[in-house]
Chain A
Amino acid sequence: MIRIIDYKAGNAPSVLRAVSRLGFHAAFAREAGALDGASHILLPGVGSAKATMDSLREMSMLAALEDAVLRKKTLFFGICVGMQILFDHSEEDGADGLGWLKGRVVRFDGGAVRVPQMGWNKVTLSQSPANPALEDYFYFVNSYYVLPENPSDVWGTAEYNGRFAAAVRRENIFAAQFHAEKSGEAGLALLNGFLRQGRGFEPC
């Protein structure tokens, strides 16, 4: 079962609509038990890293999520703030993240570019089990971006006052700063590539 973590303030319904449009069955996860036996876990996010971490904590979801993703190696896709919280720390409200990936989250320089970054940006993605190497346009809404310590965790980059990590990946963990669920056919294709993994017909 594909599970989409729903913590109310997030954009879980949009992610569910995109996944359904691709022909997959998925359901929301609103409590820890719902992650049991999940084939794929998606963590959408809007708002702040702190609010997202607080919500996951209130739902007692943290331990179950770590168990599923870090120990059982369940395929995981984080979106926007759902990517930022994978790192150690965010400058926004001084929030600590999950620390699954090494690095921190910092704010775009408002003196140099308009903040938030809002709109379609060109992303260069390296090849992964979910996609061929490609360049395509994806929709971003973010004031903060990640600085991964480990270059091998970077899956894709884009340009906004310099190059930044637009997507990261390690083993079963995939995450994008952009909203794949709102990035038209490019976003749907990427989600499709992620969801097709583990089903015996990986496209790449």
Chain B
Amino acid sequence: MLTKRLIACFDIVDGMVTKAVRFQDNITVAPAEEMAGRLYDAQIDELIFYDITASAEKRRIDIETVKKVARRVFIPFTVGGGIKTLDDMYEALKAGAEKISVDSMAVRNPEIIYQGAKAFGSQCVVLSTQVKRTEGMPSEYEVYIDGARTATGMDAMEWIKRGQALGAGEICLNSIDNDGTLTGYDIALMKLAQETVTVPLIASGGAGAPEHLSELFTVTEAQAAIISSMLYSPRPERNYTVRELKAYLLRNGIAARPPREEGGAWDAHQ
């Protein structure tokens, strides 16, 4: 059966991975391709890299870094940030990304979702969105853009529904309220989303312990979870390895791609 995916998601500044806590205080961790390789070897299921510098400085996406990562990992990886046009998308896909994540830019120009899906297929277009609990919104969640700094007045559920209709093949929902708190995913948000759209959902924001993953995967239909904060938090004693998290899920009866035994006879190319 289809397994639940664990995704590491990082912000990249000048080719270096950083981890943003509540979208502030970027801490340099490692070169992107080195971190990608380490996580690939550790059996992460998928990677997402946001080129935040590209957005802030109005530059295009850092294609060289995408290429370096693509040479090192043979699992799907998504890039976002700095993508404004179909050409940008094509360049990123050609450089080795599987999927393109669109966020603030899609709010400003929703048509890009349709264009991207038409040109490259829906499976290439991930609609990522930052949402915050806001009273008065129909769903009580509002869409924020520009690194979660700017409220849009748009209802989060209406936005993801529209995104799906435009052709987004996957939706990544980041809870601004839970992000960086290590208290668990926003379960209510994911339940709302699963009733709103039919494409696969990625939960983001709030993971701090393995129980948060089992909760997410048992009580919601989310198919994937962003776990970066459990891998590389500023407090190493609270960090987990991908292997530990996978083992935990499997022990709890949740379908996960099991950690691979090293040096098996089948790995003939090694």
Contacts and interface: CB of A to CB of B under 8 A. Distances in A.
Contacts of A182: 74-76, 98
A184 B121 contact: no
B3 A116 contact: no
A148 interface: no
16 contacts: A11-B93, A21-B74, A46-B120, A114-B221, A115-B198, A118-B170, A118-B200, A118-B223, A119-B3, A119-B200, A121-B2, A122-B3, A141-B98, A179-B76, A187-B74, A192-B269
A120 B268 contact: no
B121 A47 contact: yes
Contacts of A181: 74
Nearest to B119: A9
Interface string A161-204: 00000000000000000010111111111001100100000010
Given A117-B2, A185-B260, A193 B268 contact: yes
Contacts of A14: 70, 96, 98
A18 interface: yes
Contacts of A185: 74, 260, 267
Interface string B113-154: 000000111111000000000000000000000000000000
A159 B255 CA distance: 12
Interface stretch (A29-37, A64-72, A96-104, A131-139): A131-139
Nearest to A23: B269
Interface of B: 1-5, 40, 43, 45, 70-71, 74-76, 93-96, 98, 119-124, 169-170, 198-200, 221, 223-224, 257-258, 260, 266-269
B264 to A, nearest CB: 9
Nearest to A190: B266
A22 interface: yes
A17 B122 contact: no
Nearest to B40: A184
Contacts of A9: 119-121
A137 B242 CA distance: 16
Interface residues of A, number: 46
Given A9-B119, A160-B1, A114 B266 contact: no
A137 to B, nearest CB: 4
Contacts of A84: none
**Which of B1, B121, B223, B224 counts the most chain A CB atoms within 10 A?**
B121
Interface string A107-133: 000100011111111100000000110
Given A116-B122, A184-B75, A192 B268 contact: yes
Contact of A46 (B124, B223, B224): B124
Contacts of A139: 75-76
B96 A119 contact: no
Contacts of A134: 266
Nearest to A45: B121
Contact of B223 (A11, A47, A119, A184): A119
Nearest to B200: A118
Nearest to A191: B269
Contacts of A118: 123, 169-170, 200, 223
Interface string A74-118: 000000000000000000000000000000000000100011111
Nearest to A201: B268
Given A11-B98, A114-B200, 19 more contacts: A17-B71, A17-B96, A21-B71, A117-B2, A118-B123, A118-B200, A119-B45, A119-B200, A121-B3, A139-B76, A140-B2, A159-B1, A159-B2, A160-B2, A186-B260, A189-B267, A192-B268, A193-B268, A196-B268
